[in-house]
Amino acid sequence: MTTIYNRELSWLQFNDRVLQEARDPTVPLVQRLRFLGIFSNNQDEFIRVRVANIIRLAELKSKKPIRMTGGYTPAELLPLIDGCLGESRELFRQTWDATRTELETHGIRLVDETGLSEEQLAFCRTYFANVISIRLVPLLLRKSVEIPFLGDGKIYLAVKMTSGASSRYALLQMPVSEACPRFVVLPSAPGRTDVIFLDDIVRLFLDDIFFMFPHDTISAHTFKIVRDATLPLDDDVSKSLSEKMFQGLSKREHGRPVRLVYDETMPPDVLETIARKLGIRRPQRLQPGGRYHQMRDLMRFPRVNPALEEPRSTALLHPRIDPRESVLGVIRNGDVMLFYPYHTFNHFIDLLREAAVDPRVQSIHITLYRTAEHSKVIHALLSAAQNGKSVTAMVELKARFDEEQNIDNTDLLQQGGVKVVHSEEELKVHAKLLLIERREGNSLRGYVYVGTGNFNEDTARIYGDIGLLTADEAVVEDARKVFDFLQNTHKHPTYKKLLVAPYFMRRQIETIIDEEIRNARRGKPAWIHAKFNSLTDERMVRKFYEASRAGVEVRLLVRGACCLQAGVEGLSENIEVRSIVDKYLEHARVIIAACGGKPRSWIMSADAMTRNLERRVEVGVPIRDRAIHATLEGYFAIQWADNTKARRIAPPYHNDYVPRPDDAPAHRSQSELYDYFENLHHESPENSPV
């Protein structure tokens, strides 16, 4: 047995954990629909990125066989992936059907174009005329004409019109947008809510759309294309990275099809016509499915019954931060740690807004990876620049699927007087770092935020992340060095406190593990508790194996892909890996180590992945405040005790839930963490450990 588990297969098992949430009867019903949407979105991105890459590797002509994690060649791995994808699709279909049936017991019906009442038909006609038809562009398919460009991730109807023995084909792209949502709530009988897909309203009026073409019958069948998401950048040195990214985005949209997903009832001649015009010749790239595709739209299913949704908790105020007082003043008096989504992200926004208007603040430096669509962070930075501050933003253009947003952010910030810096093409800046410099007396005092998650007020409501606010002089000096490096990448400074990738973080983490190995061999307390999104770096996996063999107890919380095989005799008996999938997306990265009986802890932006440690700028920070460290230990302990949403990740990889003895109470960590922080807040601010 290989000691390294395959990354792609492990990731697929993670997505199956998402599907488990959609099948869990204890999850509110409409929330289960949203998990189906998350699963579908994840699956599409996996095909666009990972499967597309493996296909490219399989097609390479190489004398030496290419080996993926786990020892597979790309050609060997592809059928295994296809098998897993097929099993998941079938389970998705069963879950979708069962959920629809259960929705009906609560008076929510997903209806199609057949069997609508007269009132509903009249509503659909008006809705089609006023909302849909003005956004529809029918495209005829002619034998002698190339197929028009069909975008990735769009929903299309393939229309077939027959007149006698002849047939005519056309395409309709569903104009899904905020103004034209995928799901439409219909006028309904008392005590009932009928919801219809946008696709089915369009089917109702096919005759109206194609009235100019005589036909005896007309039908429409859904399909979508999943394209290779690789972003091609040319090597023209005369172009800026922004120009290359903009052109690359256009090329990505025209990436080759990896999958054609189609309604399995689509007539063979229609499927053959579309596949031929798209240049899809391999049968394995054709994927039959149900009547509806692009099911990620279930994430935006209308809120028709709050009782069937996950209750929303109000984000807590940090006990040391009064919204009417200076956040900088609070940080000046001691470190503060924020835990999202339990704490409000408004504290961070308030910090930026305060810095924007404080006459003593001289400069602001920040890294931006993913921001909200209408970002309060961006607005605060613009306000700071307009107030005469020196504002520098490192905007990462290469944040996958957020490239266009970040190009727009670049333009907006530059127009507002902000200095925008972009990373080199080979280096992605994934750090979550803020530095504010304020004139205090005869010197500049720095204030730093180091986080595990993006400066994004939208995701901060649903992602479990951590951020440290500090005025520690050594951390401030290190932060200055990081921002200097980002603008002068030929410099490789050393750091006193911060863990910084790509040049130092790996060695720093290995040093932490090595210390535990030495302590275990000396008979001292030796353990490591760590949390990552993914653990796929082989060198890091082998370092954990070394720790296990030395007798170090290793507890790992890994939400996504994990190439480490836990609990294997002679290799990893002392390692246990768990994964929590629940209402919030677990996103924080944490390391806590025994350190010979005086435990220490760190938070960081990096996962234990080769790309994060070697090809990205990442930043982590040690926790110096003992009370905050104790809170972080409590945070991890609560998550480790989860016996409701935690799964054990070990061979044979069945996503088994952590067992709960019959007489043991249920523990759901995300609910208990809210109570944990709320109870801490009832203590006096002076003694608060957060």
Collapsing DSSP to helix, strand or coil, 563 comes out as coil
The one catalytic residue in 293, 343, 422, 430 is 430
**The 3-state secondary structure of 223-255, one letter per residue:** EEEEECCCCCCCCCCCCCHHHHHHHHHHHHHCC
Residue 84 has pLDDT above 70, yes or no: yes
pLDDT on residue 232 = 52
Rounded distance between C-alpha atoms, residue 306 and residue 191, angstroms: 14
pLDDT on residue 688 = 55
- What's the pLDDT band for 683 if we cut at 50, 70, 90? low
Instruction: HSE, CB side, 13 Å, CA atoms: give it for residue 189.
Output: 6
Rounded distance between C-alpha atoms, residue 21 and residue 585, angstroms: 12
Amino acid at 8: E
Which of 369, 330, 333 lies closest to 486 in space, CA to CA?
A: 369
Rg of the chain over all Cα atoms, to the nearest angstrom = 27
Rounded distance between C-alpha atoms, residue 98 and residue 582, angstroms: 20
Q: 108-232+256-300, what's its fold? A: polyphosphate kinase like (3.30.1840)
pLDDT, average across residues 531-548: 98
Amino acid at 681: H
Rounded distance between C-alpha atoms, residue 671 and residue 471, angstroms: 32
Q: Model confidence over 581-631: pLDDT tens digits?
A: 999 999 999 999 999 999 999 999 999 999 999 999 999 999 999 999 999
Tokens 């995701």 correspond to 459
Q: If you write DSSP's letter for every residue of 324-343 in order, what string do you get?
A: TS-HHHHHHTS-EEEEETTB
Both tokens of residue 101?
């049936």
- Least confident stretch, 166-180, 281-295, 546-560, 591-605: 281-295
Residue 161: Cβ within 10 Å count: 20
Rounded distance between C-alpha atoms, residue 522 and residue 372, angstroms: 50
Q: pTM for the complete prediction?
A: 0.92
Query: How far are the Cα atoms of 88, 284, 466, 614, 654 from residue 10, in angstroms, in the given order?
Result: 14, 22, 25, 22, 11
pLDDT, average across residues 150-166: 91
Residue 237 or 621, more confident: 621
Q: Which residues contact 283 (CB under 8 A, 6 or more apart)?
A: none
Tokens 């005469």 correspond to 388
Q: 500-687, what's its fold? A: Endonuclease; Chain A (3.30.870)
Whether omega before 651 lies within 30 degrees of 0, making that bond cis, reads: no
Instruction: Please check whether the two domains, 327-479 and 500-687, share a CATH topology.
Output: yes
- What's the pLDDT band for 63 if we cut at 50, 70, 90? confident
- Least confident stretch, 134-138, 399-403, 472-476, 683-687: 683-687
Rounded distance between C-alpha atoms, residue 5 and residue 550, angstroms: 22
Find which of 149-153, 160-164, 336-340, 491-495 is predicted with most confidence, using mean pLDDT: 336-340
Amino acid at 284: Q
**588, 453 Cβ separation under 8 angstroms:** yes
Residue 118: Cβ within 10 Å count: 7
Which of 346, 307, 340, 337 lies closest to 674 in space, CA to CA?
A: 340
pLDDT on residue 171 = 94
Cβ-defined contacts of 51-58 (< 8 Å, 24+): 51/78, 51/81, 51/258, 51/259, 52/227, 52/228, 52/229, 52/230, 52/255, 52/258, 53/230, 54/8, 54/78, 54/81, 55/228, 55/258, 56/228, 56/230
Residue 209: Cβ within 10 Å count: 20
Residue 253 has pLDDT above 90, yes or no: no
Residue 283 has pLDDT above 90, yes or no: no
Both tokens of residue 406?
């970040």
pLDDT on residue 655 = 95
- What's the pLDDT band for 149 if we cut at 50, 70, 90? confident
- Least confident stretch, 164-168, 207-211, 242-246: 242-246
Amino acid at 422: H
Q: Model confidence over 372-426: pLDDT tens digits?
A: 999 999 999 999 999 999 999 999 998 787 788 889 999 999 999 999 999 888 8
- Domain 327-479 - what CATH class? alpha beta
Residue 244 has pLDDT above 60, yes or no: no
| Catalytic status, residue 374 | no
Q: 1-106, what's its fold? A: Methane Monooxygenase Hydroxylase; Chain G, domain 1 (1.20.58)
Q: Which residues contact 480 (CB under 8 A, 6 or more apart)?
A: 435, 446
Percent of the chain past pLDDT 90, that is, above it, reads 81
- Least confident stretch, 152-156, 292-296, 341-345: 152-156
Residue 679 has pLDDT above 50, yes or no: yes
pLDDT, average across residues 490-511: 94
Residue 366 has pLDDT above 50, yes or no: yes
Tell me the angle at which helices 29-46 and 7-23 cross, rounded to the nearest 10 degrees.
Answer: 160
- What's the pLDDT band for 60 if we cut at 50, 70, 90? confident
- What's the pLDDT band for 690 if we cut at 50, 70, 90? low
Residue 494 has pLDDT above 60, yes or no: yes
pLDDT, average across residues 106-126: 96
pLDDT on residue 280 = 87
State the average pLDDT for the chain: 92
Q: Model confidence over 651-666: pLDDT tens digits?
A: 989 999 999 988 899 9
Amino acid at 565: Q
**389, 361 Cβ separation under 8 angstroms:** yes
Instruction: Give the chain's largest Cα–Cα span.
Output: 90
Collapsing DSSP to helix, strand or coil, 97 comes out as helix
Residue 234 has pLDDT above 70, yes or no: no
- Least confident stretch, 40-49, 86-95, 210-219, 280-289: 280-289
Q: Where are the domains of the chain?
A: 1-106, 108-232+256-300, 327-479, 500-687
Query: How far are the Cα atoms of 79, 111, 261, 311, 513 from residue 35, in angstroms, in the given order?
Result: 26, 21, 20, 15, 36
Residue 249 has pLDDT above 90, yes or no: no
Rounded distance between C-alpha atoms, residue 339 and residue 318, angstroms: 9
What backbone torsions phi and psi does residue 83 show, to the nearest 5 degrees? -65, -45
pLDDT on residue 689 = 56
Residue 684 has pLDDT above 90, yes or no: no
Q: Which residues contact 291 (CB under 8 A, 6 or more apart)?
A: 112, 222, 263, 265
* DSSP structural state of residue 146: P
* ∠ Cα 381 383 389 (to 5°): 75
Rounded distance between C-alpha atoms, residue 653 and residue 662, angstroms: 24
Rounded distance between C-alpha atoms, residue 521 and residue 472, angstroms: 34
Cα of 357 vs its chain's centroid, Å: 33
pLDDT on residue 254 = 56
Cα of 270 vs its chain's centroid, Å: 35
